[in-house]
Amino acid sequence: MPKSTVLQAVAASNASDDWRLCVAPMIDVTDRHCRFFHRLLAPRARLYTEMITTGALLHGDAQRHLDFNEQEHPVALQLGGSEPDALVAAAKLGAQWGYDEINLNCGCPSERVQKGAFGACLMAEPTLVADCIKAMQDTVSVPVTVKHRMGLDKSESYDFVRDFVGTIYDTGCRVFIVHARNAVLKGLSPKDNREIPPLRYDEAARLKQDFPDAVMVLNGGLTTLADCEAELPRFDGVMLGRSPWHDPSVLARLSQAWWPHLTVKTEPEVIEALVGYAAEQIAAKVPLRIVARPLLGLFNGRSNSRIWRRMLSDSKLLKQDDPELIRLAWQQVGGEAAGR
């Protein structure tokens, strides 16, 4: 068995915990500042970058796209592309930078992505996807995985997704992240594609039955601890998308429920870590507004949460680039400085 296939099999055999809780790759959301914040709330979650195209890495500012904080581990690099040589070069860069996984996007339905001949439209070309996966496996030692949809447009044929997964499975790939909706390639926006096509959880679960030694992670429609616990018995893990953006505390609740033996940071500890991180980033010429953006939903549902959001989105306050703004905003929602 080739080295890459052995590594995939080893990863799969130990993956029930490694992929139990994942935070989805989200364009313009899951940048390195967002991932650092999510790590504070969820010590064992697997974090994913935004989808980064091969062109952006090979012909753009690779350091800007690939830089991350060591505390983010385990962290996966999601690539967008369809040319094996370009994906190999991009995957090699990701491995050199220390990413724990290379994930190929076969699920994004946006027209811009389709014009690049990658994303969800790749599901119509499983042999090409398999060639891409195999080429990356032969180049890097970290797991190479796939994120895909259940189908394309209005066809709800289970055979289609089963055959797609089967073709990729034959390369030795053993980790599949299944967004349990179809991707409608024409007529729906990316937002609509996350909400309108019906969820097909039962058929997604059939993939786990048909490929029992593969890691199957469910994505789509999961927003609460109850949602995740209802579906986890049928899958190896769950991936949350927009819910951690709107209510980041869901990650802490999942962590406390699923890893009760782990020490989860207290609220004062989270705030102190954020203040310290913001100070480091400001010293590195990163504006506070960029660091603060992922934090806006932290206290959703709490009394005075609007004050937190208002202070951390106030352009005049943010222009001062004072990391203490985070602590001051927290005190307005009833917090007290750690250790005081």
Apex CA 43: angle with CA 72 and CA 229, to 5°?
Answer: 125
CB-based contact 338:267 (threshold 8 Å): no
Q: What is the pLDDT of residue 113?
A: 61
Residue with tokens 């997964």: 165
Please check whether residues 241 and 272 belong to one and the same domain: no
Q: What is the pLDDT of residue 112?
A: 65
Choosing from 22, 34, 108, 132, which is the catalytic residue?
108
Q: Which two tokens stand for residue 261?
A: 């033996």
Within-domain flag for 339: no
**Nearest of 293, 298, 282, 288 to residue 335 by alpha carbon:** 298
- Taking 70 as the pLDDT cut, the residues of the chain under it are 1-16, 112-116, 337-340
Give tens-digit pLDDT for 45-98. 999 999 999 999 999 999 999 999 999 999 999 999 999 999 999 999 999 999
Within-domain flag for 212: yes
Exposed/middle/buried for 339, CB within 10 Å: 0-12, 13-18, 19+? exposed
Q: What is the pLDDT of residue 191?
A: 86
Residue 70 belongs to domain with CATH number: 3.20.20.70
CA 125 vs. chain centroid, Å, equals 24
Within-domain flag for 254: no
Q: What is the pLDDT of residue 286?
A: 97
Please check whether residues 236 and 282 belong to one and the same domain: no
CB-based contact 200:163 (threshold 8 Å): no
Please check whether residues 239 and 279 belong to one and the same domain: no
Apex CA 229: angle with CA 226 and CA 231, to 5°?
Answer: 110
Please give the tally of structural domains in the chain.
2
Please check whether residues 58 and 14 belong to one and the same domain: yes
Q: What is the pLDDT of residue 68?
A: 96
**Catalytic-residue membership of 108:** yes
Residue 283 belongs to domain with CATH number: 1.20.120.1460
Please check whether residues 169 and 203 belong to one and the same domain: yes
| Domain of 84, in residue numbers | 3-247
Q: What is the pLDDT of residue 1?
A: 37
Within-domain flag for 87: yes
Q: Specify whether the backbone of 113 is left (phi greater than 0), alpha (psi in -120 to 50) or beta.
A: alpha
